[in-house]
Structure 1
Amino acid sequence: MVDVVGLCKYLEGPQVVSAKKLTRKMAAAAAAGVAATLMLTACQAEKPDAQGWDSGQVTNWAIDEPVTEADVLKAVTAATTLKDLPTKVRKSDLVAASGDDQKAWALPRCTPTIEQTKLDDLGPCTLGDLKSEREIFVVGDSAAAMWYGAFDLIGKRKAWKVVMLTKNNCGPATLTYYQWQRGRTFTECTEWQKWRAGVIEREQPGIVVLAGWYGGNLGPGKKETPQVWRDGLVKTATQFPKNTKVVMLGNTPHPATPPAECVASNPSNLVECASDPEQAVPDQTGWSRAAKDVGGTFIDVTPWFCADSCPAIIGDQIVYAGKNHITQKYGRYVSGSIEKAMAPLLGA
């Protein structure tokens, strides 16, 4: 049988594995002209995600000893004056994070298509402690999905099963969204919202975390004010079961340009790649007021990203994938900070 993994590595280029390390059987299979489509499918299936994004590839220290919030805050402050690229940050990773590649932030096999209005199987979207009867649901769009690495670790550490109910461009607030790729109302999102409300009612999770992108998803000419966002979040939360605790996870900064791209071009002058908090940090009042209205918990994530500036590299971590998402690796890095904020809800 052909060693598909080894052959795929060879096809990636000589910097990964030398042709001399191929077995004769592998070389024969390649020379025989394996059908391109079959080989592509096999390589995509066998090839590990870029930068080790697979949630199963987590070191024990990351599970058992989360980075403390105090250490995260120190790292953020230190990063504001950091000039030279840390040696642990690979240039190849910067290139990968320069574009908005879903591999950097999306949970594999848990990204519904535009047309999908429901999931028939929550298995691929389930993380954390899979044996636990306690459930956390994370609800929102791609800016919620990007937190899967953090909640995976929190679930494993605190014995909670985590279900990611996320759909790109379909936010956590119950509103009518716009599908920019199709240039029309996102009707599939409206149906998705109804479906996810039914799933939450059926599953009765102990905690629901609302997260997502605030600003600009309602369509041309429609103003997304903090009040509109607040009302939409409240409408979502009031549909939850009576005993479900609600967490509003605030927005991450919105850099004007991809920070990793800037870092790749300025490895000895990283301060040039930091964002101004006054420009990058979105209005959080919609989130905080909604949390107050429903008796929920608001988590302001800004201090984990910004001090005097919002650096592109923090604690040897690439923070952003493109400019619209954080890398799930950075999400893992601040998982201890989220865990601390949610401690009263998580229990022992």
Structure 2
Amino acid sequence: MTMRLTAKTVAGVAMCAALMSAGCQAGIDTPVAAPDSGSAPVPAAVPQAEVLQAVQAAADLRDLPANITTDELLATSGDYAEQWSIEGCEPALAQTRLDDIGPCTLGDTAGDRTMVLIGDSAASMWHGALDLIGKRNGWRVIALTKSNCGPAALTYYQWQLERAYTECDDWQDWRMEIIGQEKAEIVVMAGFFDGGNQGPGRDTTPRVWRDALVKTIAELPEGTQAFLLGNIPRPAESPSECVASNPADLTRCAVPAAEALPDQAGWSGAAELTGQTYVDVDPWFCTEVCPAVIADQLVYSGKYHLTAEYARYLSGSLEEIMVPALTAPR
């Protein structure tokens, strides 16, 4: 655990005051461990119909559920890597490949069928869902994710380095090699698209994104099935901070869907052009509004990521869509 005297600490202090928790400690990170690959019971899938009912009910939720702790609110107040990364499987900016994909291997690690997850941190945040899907269906899951290195075949801009992210170009080549070597039958693609993926002065339009996704799909081995996960909603402020400030009226944290839902045309367009599967995630988050708490769980980590718990909760919804591919004969 690390102590950070940052904006997170300040936010934590504000949340502690809002919740009037005498035991609150601001600024403490609790890393999320990699999914347990041991013999722990695998949770049953929550049916998509139940998820949709929970989303509907959450629109009117006012009081903070008793099971949501101050520590959870602190941990999910920002987009912290501890919340979505896989321990031992988060390549540094300069890395263009991994020498060992063992830490990135989830699901049924002894399974004889393989799926691969590719994309940036907005793909990595789904690893808990795919881990459960793999365990329930006997599939090995390999996460080949790298921050700021999305699934679309583009040269991305690295904002920290303030230059074209050429290391991502090399990573994209390497991950395609691994997909072939591991004989992946399914590839799940997810990533952050906001129009600025290629950097200043370059408008990454939905059409540019679509065409780059099509290029990635064309490079997959013949017969590989791709699932394209649309982007999650984007609230204007950290939902957890809003929840901490309004524990008796969570409706204040339910953002209008028209303001939060992103443009999914690039994702759906690529799936249509290639005959692959677009996964419309919007109904798993929003009705007319997008609540911050659904099924007694915090939905967002910061503004741009899912919490690990909510990703796992959605595993059944995603699994229902993937069933034909999961059960198809080889």
Does residue 261 of structure 1 match 2:229? no
* Deviation of 1:273 (Å): 1.0
Tell me if the contact between 2:32 and 2:83 (Cα under 8 Å) persists in the aligned partners.
no
The more displaced of 273-282 and 234-243 is: 273-282
Residue number in structure 1 paired with 2:306: 326
Q: In the alignment, which of 134, 138, 146 is matched to residue 167 of structure 1?
A: 146
Residues 307, 57 of structure 1: alpha-carbon distance in 2 compared, 3 angstrom cutoff = farther
Q: In the alignment, which of 151, 173, 185 is matched to residue 164 of structure 2?
A: 185
- Secondary structure in 2 aligned to 1:50? coil
Residue number in structure 2 paired with 1:212: 191
Residues 320, 57 of structure 1: alpha-carbon distance in 2 compared, 3 angstrom cutoff = farther
Tell me if the contact between 1:175 and 1:232 (Cα under 8 Å) persists in the aligned partners.
yes
CA distance in 2, matches of 1:271, 1:89: 16
CA distance in 1, matches of 2:30, 2:291: 22
Tell me if the contact between 2:37 and 2:109 (Cα under 8 Å) persists in the aligned partners.
no
Residue number in structure 2 paired with 1:248: 228
Tell me if the contact between 2:299 and 2:307 (Cα under 8 Å) persists in the aligned partners.
yes
Structure 2 residue runs without a partner (length 5+): 1-22
Residue number in structure 2 paired with 1:303: 283
1:293 partner amino acid: L
CA distance in 2, matches of 1:154, 1:57: 13
1:251-281 deviations in whole A, cap 9, x for unaligned?
Answer: 1111111100110111011111122211211
Residue number in structure 1 paired with 2:77: 98
CA distance in 2, matches of 1:117, 1:54: 22
- Secondary structure in 1 aligned to 2:289? coil
Does residue 312 of structure 1 match 2:295? no
Residue number in structure 2 paired with 1:37: none
* Deviation of 1:200 (Å): 1.4
Kindly tell me the number of residue pairs found equivalent between the two proteins.
303
Does residue 82 of structure 1 match 2:61? yes
- Secondary structure in 2 aligned to 1:230? helix
Q: In the alignment, which of 286, 294, 301 is matched to residue 266 of structure 2?
A: 286
* Deviation of 1:54 (Å): 3.8
Pairs within 5 Å for 1:112-261: 112-215=91-194, 216-261=196-241
Normalised by the length of structure 1, the TM-score is 0.83
* Deviation of 1:57 (Å): 8.4
1:134-182 deviations in whole A, cap 9, x for unaligned?
Answer: 0010010000000010000000001100000100000000001000011
CA distance in 2, matches of 1:149, 1:290: 25
1:173-192 deviations in whole A, cap 9, x for unaligned?
Answer: 00010000111111111111
Residue number in structure 1 paired with 2:317: 337
Tell me if the contact between 1:254 and 1:324 (Cα under 8 Å) persists in the aligned partners.
yes
Residue number in structure 2 paired with 1:34: none
- Secondary structure in 2 aligned to 1:298? strand
Residues 64, 122 of structure 1: alpha-carbon distance in 2 compared, 3 angstrom cutoff = same
1:221-246 deviations in whole A, cap 9, x for unaligned?
Answer: 21121110100000001001101111
Q: Percent identity?
A: 51
Residue number in structure 2 paired with 1:50: 30
1:45-76 deviations in whole A, cap 9, x for unaligned?
Answer: xxxx8386541189966x24211111111111
Tell me if the contact between 2:37 and 2:107 (Cα under 8 Å) persists in the aligned partners.
no
Structure 1 residue runs without a partner (length 5+): 1-14, 17-48
CA distance in 2, matches of 1:74, 1:293: 32
CA distance in 2, matches of 1:51, 1:332: 17
Tell me if the contact between 2:128 and 2:311 (Cα under 8 Å) persists in the aligned partners.
yes
2:271 partner amino acid: A
- Secondary structure in 2 aligned to 1:86? coil
1:233 partner amino acid: L
Normalised by the length of structure 2, the TM-score is 0.88
CA distance in 2, matches of 1:306, 1:326: 14
1:116-149 deviations in whole A, cap 9, x for unaligned?
Answer: 0001111000000011110010010000000010
Tell me if the contact between 1:142 and 1:166 (Cα under 8 Å) persists in the aligned partners.
yes
CA distance in 2, matches of 1:347, 1:200: 20
For the pair shown, the structure with the greater C-alpha radius of gyration is 1
What root-mean-square deviation, in Å, do the aligned CA atoms of Structure 1 and Structure 2 show? 2.1
CA distance in 2, matches of 1:289, 1:58: 39
